Structure 1
Amino acid sequence: MEPDLADIRRIYWLSETVHNLNYFAPESRAATDALGCKGLWMGYFGFRAAPLGAVGPDAAAALFVSFSPAMLRRALPDVWAVAPPERFITARMEVTDRLYRRIWGERVADDPGIAELTQLTAEAVATLPTLGRPMAAANQALPLPGQPHLAFWQSLTTLREHRGDAHVALLVADGLDSVQALILACGYGKYPAEQMRSGRKWSEDEWRHGIDTLAGRGLVTADGALTGRGQAHRSRLEAETDRLAAVPYQALGSEAAGRLAELLVPLARRHSEEPGYPVTPPVDMPDPYRVPAG
């Protein structure tokens, strides 16, 4: 039996919570500062873009929806003068090792739950279709590290980027640009609007133009709040993303996908409690930490 789309959405949120901490934990900032990066975001773009090779800001802007081109130009391609992509790939594995040992203890590499997660996520990644999914393909092509906790994070990254690639394709097909997509996400309750506007380096004029364009489609009000039509539209985009992201979990089957969610729950809960790493569950997921019965 295949998992339903609600289960796939929940696995996505749990995975995202676990995966993303690696970019924002103090271990990450310490590692990228040591390489010579200037600020958190230069390190973030170095870590996330490294599997693609030494890409420039235009290529990254085409893939990393929500960041303004001006923000990307502040980090790329300068980050590759700090260290080559291969060094960032190594560094993000070093960060994963230090972070997981701090949070889960020095025996994390021998933890049976992590070993099971490693097996499940590796099986899911093995079935991924990557046509038209550049971020997923770049991460899938990386060799899996030998230590289970490192292999788990790398497989989780590939799954995360696989869903993200599909979401970007849907946004483009819907006629949305990066700032409009971010405004819709903020209106949906995923992010605080002003924090995202300033944090992702969108100017007030760019933000205003995005709101006006969406208002012209009847999706938001003049202050950027979603209309009823906008809520339904954003929900449809998420549901369609879930459908396009379903392949690896359908290949696992309902029982194994449920077990994956069960194993992710304590990791996601613990990671969400890290200082400076606020995590807000999706508005349509009132109980993300439930453990499946049976």
Structure 2
Amino acid sequence: MDARQLWLRFEPYHDVTYFTPESRAATDALGCKGGWMGYFGMRAAPLGAASPELVEAVFYNFAPRMVRRALPDAWEVATPAEFLRARLEGVDGALRRLLGEGGVDAPEVAEAASLAREAALAAPPGGRPLAAANRALDWPEQPHLALWHACTILREARGDGHVAALVAAGIGPCQALALYAREHSLDPAYMRAARGWTVEEWEEVADLPGDLPSVEEATDRAAAAPWEALGETGTTRFVELMTPLALRIAAANEAMRVNPMALDPVRELAVPGWNT
């Protein structure tokens, strides 16, 4: 199974981190001014009280002005440690709602957590700042949260590798979004708004060439190590366990309807006989 198909299994589980009512409630309780301050605070918190410049660099495709509306002000609202506690609280609440109390306690979740942890710890941290920062955090004890933590490390490791591939290909942040929107028939206005770019900035790069398929191939190669370490048997079992979880979460999470990643797990992972 290719790396994109594996990504489709763990990305929906990770995405409850930011785009659920529980996540928004947790950061609102901290005193965040809007959902994006909560997003940048929670995602950047493993790095410590990161500067806007650092976050612009490692998140890559957000316009600097969008980052600077949230940072460094977020660190005046709450410490990185408080953001980390809030994101875990939001994740726990979201997963309990989306999977049900019986779902989070299912033995399949514990088995998936064990496999995902093995894979995540095999992701090389070198050159992967967000993955390395998340890996350095304490692992949650509850299996459904340990699974989320492993998925987060795997997701950020893949993302770090993708940024490296874009830089190597000479494709800038706004240009990458414009190319991706064109390739996946995404609305440019939606993509600009989702990442904070102006019409003028978009038009400057909209017609620039760029070989995104080659970037995706490089991203997949860079993301292969965890699955090579897990082996064919372990990877196959991980897919079996994560597919119904990804489908259930994607079907119930409104953020999965439209997103800048063109991610549609319900369509791409649907299997005969599956239902929510």
TM-score, normalized by length of structure 2? 0.91
1:289 to 251, 270, 276: 270
2:84 to 89, 107, 116: 89
Letter in 2 for 1:142: L
Moved more, 89-98 or 244-253: 89-98
Tell me if the contact between 1:190 and 1:282 (Cα under 8 Å) persists in the aligned partners. no
1:131 to 121, 126, 132: 126
Asked if 1:183 corresponds to 2:178, the answer is: yes
Please report the RMSD computed on the Cα atoms of aligned residues, expressed in angstroms. Answer: 2.0
Tell me if the contact between 1:163 and 1:245 (Cα under 8 Å) persists in the aligned partners. yes
CA distance in 2, matches of 1:282, 1:87: 30
SS in 1 for 2:110: helix
Letter in 1 for 2:201: E
1:227 paired residue number: none
1:226 paired residue number: none
Q: Give 1:100 shift.
A: 1.4
CA distance in 2, matches of 1:265, 1:275: 15
2:245 to 263, 267, 276: 267
CA deviation string 1:128-185 (max 9, x = no partner): 2111110010011111011111111011100000000000001011111110011111
Spell out the pairing of 1:51-62 with structure 2 (5 A cutoff). 51-62=46-57
Structure 1's unaligned 5+ residue stretches are: 220-232
Letter in 2 for 1:28: S
2:11 paired residue number: 16
Spell out the pairing of 1:1-294 with structure 2 (5 A cutoff). 4=1, 6=2, 8-189=3-184, 191-212=186-207, 214=208, 217=209, 219=210, 233-274=211-252, 276-277=254-255, 278=257, 287-290=268-271
Letter in 1 for 2:154: L
CA deviation string 1:207-255 (max 9, x = no partner): 011114x1xx3x5xxxxxxxxxxxxx21221111111100001111112
Tell me if the contact between 1:37 and 1:82 (Cα under 8 Å) persists in the aligned partners. yes
Structure 2's unaligned 5+ residue stretches are: none
Q: Give 1:10 shift.
A: 0.5
SS in 1 for 2:206: helix
Letter in 2 for 1:115: A
Alpha-carbon distance change, 245 to 101 in structure 1, aligned in 2, over 3 angstroms: same
CA distance in 2, matches of 1:38, 1:282: 27
CA distance in 2, matches of 1:126, 1:107: 28
Alpha-carbon distance change, 258 to 156 in structure 1, aligned in 2, over 3 angstroms: same
SS in 2 for 1:72: helix
Moved more, 26-35 or 14-23: 14-23
Specify the structure having the higher radius of gyration (Cα): 1
Q: Give 1:107 shift.
A: 3.6
Tell me if the contact between 2:158 and 2:219 (Cα under 8 Å) persists in the aligned partners. yes
TM-score, normalized by length of structure 1? 0.86
Alpha-carbon distance change, 114 to 190 in structure 1, aligned in 2, over 3 angstroms: farther
Tell me if the contact between 2:99 and 2:249 (Cα under 8 Å) persists in the aligned partners. no
